[in-house]
Structure 1
Amino acid sequence: MDLSYSPEEQAFQAEVRGFLATHLPEHISSAVRAGGELSKEIMEEWHALLNAQGWLATTWPTTFGGPGWSPVERHIFEEECCRAYAPRIVPFGVSMLGPVLQKFGSKAQQDHYLPRVLDGTDWWCQGYSEPGAGSDLASLKTRAVRDGDHYVINGQKTWTTLGQHADWIFCLCRTDPEAKPQAGISFILVDLNTPGIEMRPIKLIEGGHEVNEVFFTDVRVPVGNLVGEENKGWTIAKYLLTHERTGIAGVGFSIQALEEVKALARKLRRGGRPLIEDPLFAARLARVEVDLEAMKITNLRMLFQAQKQGAPGPETSILKIKGTLINQELRDLARRALGPMAAPTGVASESNLLFGPPDTGNNAARYFNNRKTSIFGGSNEIQRNILTKTMLEL
């Protein structure tokens, strides 16, 4: 047990460990440990096990079917799941759309969609980025034109993670082309089985298929699928991105990855002694460990603040920046430790690539894939601009 936690938190930690020991199937943890690509079936199986326990939507209040955990309990749960090699919870329905519907959705939307997120009926993906509108999201061009009781959507989305598995996509669409960029955007839910939608795979640098581009041609969507007010979607978009950026920090995954790098450095030898005793390597390892500990504390502080305010604030950009840099440094340390053994082999997926164990299998794939983390969710350069404007008022 972690003695820095209160007795109640230590009891909760023991409960989580007991659940994982008895309910996490060996074939799932083995797949995560191996760093291979997880199938949709494995991810759905794990979601179902968590949902049966009432632990899938860790950030949801009990009124919507969540466990109502405190920030520390959520942190403990994530840390223990990483330690046990449980799969990452797919965030799009649970951690992104769920909080949006709870704050901005109608009662009918909450009653219909939220239970379907929990029981796995609907698998969601995110329709934000477009060619030419990634970090500069306000310049998006996908149009939604009102036609009676429907919107007619035309345009393109890109970098749609795990869209090949999804049933639904939540989209930002321009509904008022004459308004200022941020003022004319709406947040619309789209059934991917609607005629006029085409999804094409995008192959990434390491050869994996985790992202896609989505084309909309005269796609008719009921007006009832609008979340919140028309032309007010930018407020929703920013709210969702704060939740996404908090998750991108991946504190628990980085803690586990750090332990794996340490174990690797103890096994490998350079100049007749363990690599972990090499002064230069040990200095880099110590630096990233200090950064990770600081981010862990900052993450907890922000979770407490979010619990009081109802949503994370712009300071989550700090987590996004530091979290992705720490993840990339851990991947680079593993690559350097392995040396020639880190030569490219295999393909891995986002659910493992970002934070998977740095063993010799798929290490190069993880390293290459992880280069994108400082770009997606709003590039780190954009995050620095957000901090400058909103927190430093410069």
Structure 2
Amino acid sequence: MDIELSPEDQAFREEVRDFLRQNLPHEVRAGAAATPSVFVEPDIGQAWNAVLNEKGWLGYQWPAEHGGTGWTPLRRYLFEKECAAAGAPNLTVLGLKLLAPVIWTFGTEAQKAQVLPRILSGEDYWCQGFSEPGAGSDLASLKTRAILQGDHYVVTGSKIWTTHAHHANRMFTLVRTNTEVKKQAGISFLLIDLASPGVSVRPILTNAGDHEVNQVFLEDVKVPAGNLVGAEGEGWTIAKFLLENERGGSCHAPKLAYDLDQIEAAAREESDGRGGALCDDVDWRRRVAGARLSVNALDMIELRIVSEIARGRKPGPQTSLTKLLASNLRQEIDLLAVDLYGPAGLQLETTRPLYGDNAPPGIHSKAAQVASARYLNSRAWTIFGGTNEVQSTIIAKSVLGL
């Protein structure tokens, strides 16, 4: 694997750096730094999306024929790395990185023309309706029913842990259209307008105090038959395609490295309780060094996947490996942040947002105020997108051949 950059790619990297210096708003960067949850709030995320869309870079993972940049896998990686290093917020992943590839791969021409431009413009904000009570890791057991009646489906059921459903106006979801076949074969992929009669959203507050997830109830919701993506019964195939993108659609190491950099910098200003700085404490340095080595190793794995994709190969089960490693590292680094600030890192302010003019004052520093909430929120990393146990099973079967 050759990781040397060509002169053209070096020039591209400098172009991205220069753009970020000039166009990443301070309030957006500050808002991202003060957001404990995985998903930034729409006022931050959509503002940054709009800046990138105006530049033509929002669809940086999209093919050019569908309104994207058409960048090579390496340039997509460089863009993500520079955005992370600049402290830019995570992009709105659900529509941009998960639904969009499904639409251009499985959707009709009408669906491509309707859905894709409205993701880029921000007119549609999507959420994902997969998990249900009793059907999380065992997704094939979902029970939400969609019965075709003339030119529309009637959908009844509920979805849970639905991220940002309270902000979204659209939901892509898995429904059961056939109960007489093997459970995977009876699942279909449907697009639902959340303004439809019969849709209601109930908030779920996390232990961190965040309102990030919800339960969505669907009571005899009428959905046009034209909102079916792919064929009936093809939902399981589409879901596996989507989840592979969710687990491997972005590189995790650059963001983890940025957060570790912030922790290391802050440790130079924090006392070790013995008259010195925490950054000089041997045990602390050992923990940070271990995390740094793991992040660097993850970075090499992700670069190898980028290299494979550049050769035209699919990312495959390797994405389960990166998801597993990144989830554990996310939690390890967030625990470092809590320990860094001592008692001040234990504060748990439940008011949201923690940025902007009306944000509550923190104890010691803004980073200390966010630390515990972020740590609690990151407990979900080893659950969403497939639990650690699910990822380990995929690795054991598909990679190790066990």
1:41-60 CA distances to partner (integer Å, 9 max, x unpaired)? 33222111101111111210
Shifted more, 301-310 versus 180-189: the winner is 301-310
Residue 261 to residue 297, structure 1, CA distance change in 2 (3 Å): same
Contact 2:34 2:354 in 1 (8 A): no
SS at match of 1:362: helix
| Residue 235 (structure 2) aligns with | 233
1:359 aligns to what SS in structure 2?
Answer: helix
Distance 2:215 2:167 in 1: 13
- Deviation (angstroms), 1:83: 2.1
Matched, 1:28 2:36: no
The aligned counterpart of 2:263 is 261
| Alignment partner of 1:380 is 2:388 | yes
Q: By how many angstroms is 1:30 displaced?
A: 2.2
Q: What amino acid does structure 1 have at the position aligned with 2:299?
A: K
Gaps of 5+ in 1: none
Task: Find the partner of 1:282 among 280, 285, 290.
Answer: 285
Describe the superposition over 1:16-50 as per-residue Cα deviations: whole angstroms up to 9, x where unpaired. 11111111122212222334785423322211110
Partner deviation per Cα, 1:45-101 (whole Å, 9 max, x = no partner):
211110111111121011111111122211221122122222210101110000111
For the 8 Å contact 2:77–2:306, the answer to whether it is kept is no
Deviation at 1:152, TM superposition (A): 0.8
**Identity of matched residues, %:** 44
User: For structure 1, which segment, 310-319 or 20-29, has the greater mean C-alpha deviation from structure 2 after superposition?
Assistant: 310-319
Structure 1 stretch displaced more, 302-311 or 211-220: 302-311
One-letter amino acid of the structure 2 residue matched with residue 334 of structure 1: A
2:36·2:377 contact (CA, 8 Å) conserved in 1? no
**Of 184, 187, 203, which residue of structure 1 is paired with 2:186?**
184
Question: How many angstroms does 1:374 deviate by?
Answer: 0.5
Within the candidate set 65, 73, 76, 1:74 is matched to: 76
Is this contact kept in 2: 1:198–1:216, CA < 8 A? yes
Decide which moves more: 18-27 or 4-13: 4-13
Contact 1:64 1:114 in 2 (8 A): yes
Tell me the distance in 1 between the aligned counterparts of 2:351 and 2:231: 40
Give me the whole-angstrom Cα distance separating, in 2, the residues matched to 1:11 and 1:297. Answer: 22
Aligned length: 388
Structure 2: gaps of 5 or more residues: 356-364
Match among 98, 101, 107 for residue 99 of structure 1: 101
Q: Which secondary structure state, in structure 1, belongs to the residue aligned with residue 219 of structure 2? A: strand
Residue type at the aligned position of 1:313: G
Letter in 2 for 1:33: A
> Structure 1: which amino acid aligns with 2:27?
H
Q: Distance in 2 between matches of 1:310 and 1:169?
A: 30
1:312-391 residue pairs with structure 2 within 5 A?
312-347=315-350, 359-391=367-399
TM-score of the aligned structures, taking structure 2 as reference length? 0.91
CA distance in 2 between partners of 1:341 and 1:145 (Å): 54
Offset of residue 104 of structure 1: 0.8
Looking at structure 2, the residues matched to 349 and 245 of structure 1 have their Cα atoms a distance apart, in angstroms, of: 28
Tell me the distance in 1 between the aligned counterparts of 2:36 and 2:381: 19
Aligned residue number for residue 17 of structure 1: 17
Partner of 2:131: 129
RMSD: 2.2
Question: In the alignment, residue 90 of structure 1 is paired with which amino acid?
Answer: T
1:310 is displaced (CA, Å) by 6.8
Identify which of 42, 49, 52 aligns with 1:50: 52
> Helix, strand or coil for the counterpart of 2:50?
helix
Instruction: Give, in whole Å, the separation in 2 of the partners of 1:303 and 1:154.
Output: 41
- Stretch moving more, 333-342 or 318-327: 333-342
SS at match of 2:146: strand
Q: How does 1:209-220 map to 2 (within 5 A)?
A: 209-220=211-222
Question: What secondary structure, in the 3-state scheme, does the structure 2 residue paired with 1:212 have?
Answer: strand
Deviation at 1:350, TM superposition (A): 11
Q: Deviations over 1:323-353 (max 9, x none)?
A: 011111100111112111112232488999x
